[in-house]
Amino acid sequence: MISNDFYMSNISAHYDTYDYPAYWKGRDYEHISEVIAINALLSKQQKFNSLVDVGGGYGRLIPHYLDKADKIILAEPSIHLIDIARETFKKNKRISFVHSPIENLLTNMKPESVDAICLVRVMHHLSDPSSAIDTFSKLLKKNGILVLEFANKIHGKAQFANLCKGDFNFSKDTTPSDRRCLENKKDKVISFYNYHPKTIKDALASSGFKILGTRSVSNVRSPFVKKHMPISWLVKVEELLQVPFAPLYFGPSIFVLAQKQG
């Protein structure tokens, strides 16, 4: 398997030229769905001294961490995105920045130095979840908190599509699905993996994490539904579904709250 090092350098090159802020225009439902999950998962946690937003890009989620930690650190491999974040939050002294891929975080930050780590929309670019999760375990203090999001291989639409094809073992196959087309794979275009929940749960357990909560996110993500249903209704439906749909791993995005054990 190609190391995460290769993928992170590829990610940096991609996001240094790609207009990622523009990607989020028209995706209010997805953004709010993620904020709902983050707020819910962290609602019972005491305010942290420090929280690291790993792969935080241009700081899209930073405003939603400000009431959860005294100090926010945005760690990002793309110099372009981190420059945008620096400019956006230049007046806020509680926010600092680390230009680094996941592989180098332990050289840029002290081990066991942070109270919480959030990783949203990053895991799908990594070839080795276990390596990244192990790094997070080393960075976190004892009983530190990890909020991890991953693209879900066995989401509802995928299960239905495969059942229609007569594939009744799809949900048991833990092999990651690479969503790139053959041409993009050949050209080494930035990777996009959907992971089986078991893969992530096993990696968390191996690195000494205990799962405290799970949320199924973006459960009604559909161009048709988004076009015909007001955003306020979408958000209300999303709020209702995140908890009951979590055991089913229904949504295309899964959020996990985990705690590092002693």
What confidence tier does 184 reach under pLDDT thresholds 50, 70, 90? low
Q: What is the mean pLDDT of residues 135-147?
A: 98
Spatial CA neighbour of 201 closest among 146, 163, 120, 140: 146
Mean pLDDT along residues 132-138: 98
Looking at residue 5, its pLDDT comes to: 57
Residue 180: what pLDDT?
Answer: 61
Please check the confidence at residue 6 and state whether its pLDDT lies above 60. Answer: no
- HEC string for the chain: CCCHHHHHHHHHHHHHHCCHHHHCCCCHHHHHHHHHHHHHHHCCCCCEEEEEEECCCCCCCHHHCCCCEEEEEEEECCHHHHHHHHHHCCCCCCEEEEECCHHHHHHHCCCCCEEEEEECCCHHHCCCHHHHHHHHHHHEEEEEEEEEEEEECCCHHHHHHHHHCCCCCHHHCCCCEECCCHHHHHCCCCCCEEECHHHHHHHHHHCCEEEEEEEEECCCCCHHHHHHCCHHHHHHHHHHHCCCCCCCCCCCEEEEEEEECC
How many domains are contained in the chain?
1
Is pLDDT above 90 for 100? yes
Q: Are strands 193-194 and 177-178 parallel, antiparallel or unpaired?
A: antiparallel
pLDDT of residue 190: 78
Q: CATH no. for residue 150?
A: 3.40.50.150
Answer yes or no: is pLDDT of 222 > 50. Answer: yes
pLDDT (0 to 100) of residue 1: 47
Which structural domain range is residue 8 located in? Answer: 4-260
Residue 188: pLDDT band with limits 50, 70, 90: low
Chain mean pLDDT for the chain: 93
In this prediction, residue 13 has a pLDDT band, given cuts at 50, 70 and 90, of: confident
